[in-house]
Amino acid sequence: MRLLFLAWLSPKTGNCTTAERIRDHIESAGHTCVLRDTREFSSPSDVATLLTKESFEGALAIHLFKGGRLLLDVKVPFGVIFGGTDINEDVKDEHKRCVMTQVLRRARFAVAFTDKLKEAAEAFLASQSSKIYVQPQGIETKVAADFSWSEFLRSSGVHGQHIEDLRVFLLVCGLRRVKDPLYLLRAFSEWHSQNPPVVLVIIGPTIDPVFSREVEESIRSSVGVFLASERDQEELHAVMQRSFALVNSSISEGMSAAILEAMDLGVPVLARNIPGNAAIVKHEVTGLLYSSPEEFICQAKRLLNDAELLATVTRNGKHYIKEHHDSAGERRTYQQLVTMLF
């Protein structure tokens, strides 16, 4: 079967990584799956023309509004995969909610990463429950063998410290407002002034150029917070592995791949207490949750000073990934779902 797969493919983002992984699952079953960026198309008719011209037999899309809306004119069967933005943010807009309802009505199947996302879809989009399948993201991590931690820190502007004494808190996110990378800036800078070995490094691609400049300017006028350039996945995993903790400060999330990857690598997680994060991070069990910058500092200090807590959340995080985010299970699910498009 020849499938068109639409997703927002900004390089080195969670969306892109997820789409590439799902494509690999589908192609391993013998299908052809052509991945295309949603930003290449201005309307559903553009996609309908492409499907006819290149003889696609089915389609997939990540995000019901960004991707799914482009499938409303197609004549072939299709499936959709919820992101976080569509259920957490887009449903607040009446027009987008109406479009997503139409997409879900026409789709053969839909995939939600968590039970909470499925419940939200049922509540907001008047969906048929039997059409939505819950499949957590599958996680596989691989660390670059030739990675240099000292070179990474120097290139990120971290100077004047003994590397072995640093405690690096790593915030992985594309630079856009929904990720809220400046949420902890003031509180962390104040903490760094009192305790110089603690630093916050923000790493990820530029998504919103205007907002990215705001982030850069804010960091330049702060202390203890640094901005690193984006890295490929294996090098990013190496950065994670050498960091003291992984930080998430997003306003909303579907399911953060960075959090899951950190858990798999044995790195403790400090995540903002929002539904998407709380679905995978159980406070004091698989990580720590916080609801304000001040609470973040409190929880971060606990991790630094409580070796037993650090060992517990690290051990439980790795176990959680093994039990709930197996890549082989994700592969089987998507291979089975694709048969619904025949």
Q: CA-to-CA distance for 58 and 33, rounded, in angstroms? A: 9
Does residue 289 belong to any structural domain of this protein?
Answer: yes
pLDDT: which is higher, 319 or 10: 319
| 49 in a structural domain | yes
Residues 175 and 308 occupy one common structural domain: yes
Asked whether residue 143 is assigned to any structural domain, the reply reads no
Residue 89 has pLDDT above 90, yes or no: no
Residue-level pLDDT at 29: 96
Under the banding of pLDDT at 50, 70 and 90, the label for residue 95 is very high
Say whether both 188 and 296 belong to one domain: yes
The pLDDT score that the predictor gives to residue 318 is 97
Q: Taking all residues of the chain, what is their mean pLDDT, rounded to a whole number? A: 94
Q: Check whether 126 has a pLDDT greater than 80.
A: no
Domain-embedded: residue 144: no
Burial 38-51 (b: 16+ CB within 10 A, else e): beebeeeeebbebb
Q: Mean of the pLDDT values across residues 276-280?
A: 93
Say if residue 217 is in the same domain as residue 287.
yes
Q: What pLDDT is recorded for position 55? A: 93
C-alpha pair distances (Å), 39 with each of 42, 52, 79, 239: 7, 19, 19, 30
Residue type at 120 in one-letter notation: A
What pLDDT shows up at residue 160? 66
pLDDT at 35 over 90: yes
pLDDT band of residue 141 (cuts 50, 70, 90) is very high
> Same structural domain for residues 319 and 330?
no
pLDDT (0 to 100) of residue 11: 75
In which domain, by residue range, is 195 found? 149-324
pLDDT band at 238 (very low <50, low <70, confident <90, very high): very high
Residue 242 and residue 293 in one domain: yes
* Whether residue 184 is found in the same domain as residue 298: yes
Q: What is the pLDDT of residues 285-301, one digit of tens each?
A: 999 999 999 999 999 99
Same domain, 179 and 298: yes
Report the predicted TM-score, pTM, of the whole model to 2 decimal places.
Answer: 0.89
In a domain, 68, yes or no: yes
Percentage, residues of the chain above pLDDT 70: 99
Structural domain includes residue 215? yes
Domain count, the chain: 2
Instruction: Find out whether 137 and 18 touch, Cβ atoms under 8 Å.
Output: yes
- Residues 196-233 have pLDDT tens digits of 999 999 999 998 999 999 999 999 999 999 999 999 99
Q: Cα separation of 120 and 4, whole Å?
A: 27
CA angle 97, 102, 107 (to 5 degrees): 125
Same domain, 175 and 317: yes
Q: What is the pLDDT of residues 50-88, one digit of tens each?
A: 999 999 999 999 999 999 999 999 999 999 999 878 888
Q: Which residue has the higher pLDDT, 24 or 121?
A: 24
Q: Is residue 307 part of a domain?
A: yes
54 and 91, same domain (yes or no): yes
**Same domain assignment for residues 188 and 216:** yes
Of 74-88, 114-128, 315-329, the one with minimum mean pLDDT is: 114-128
CATH number of the domain within which 172 lies:
3.40.50.2000
Q: Residue 12: is its pLDDT beyond 90?
A: no
Residue 161 pLDDT more than 70? no
Predicted local confidence at residue 40, as pLDDT? 95
Are 172 and 297 in the same domain? yes
The answer to whether residues 70 and 99 touch, using CB atoms and an 8 Å cutoff, is no
| % residues pLDDT > 90 (the chain) | 84
Domain match, 231 and 100 both: no
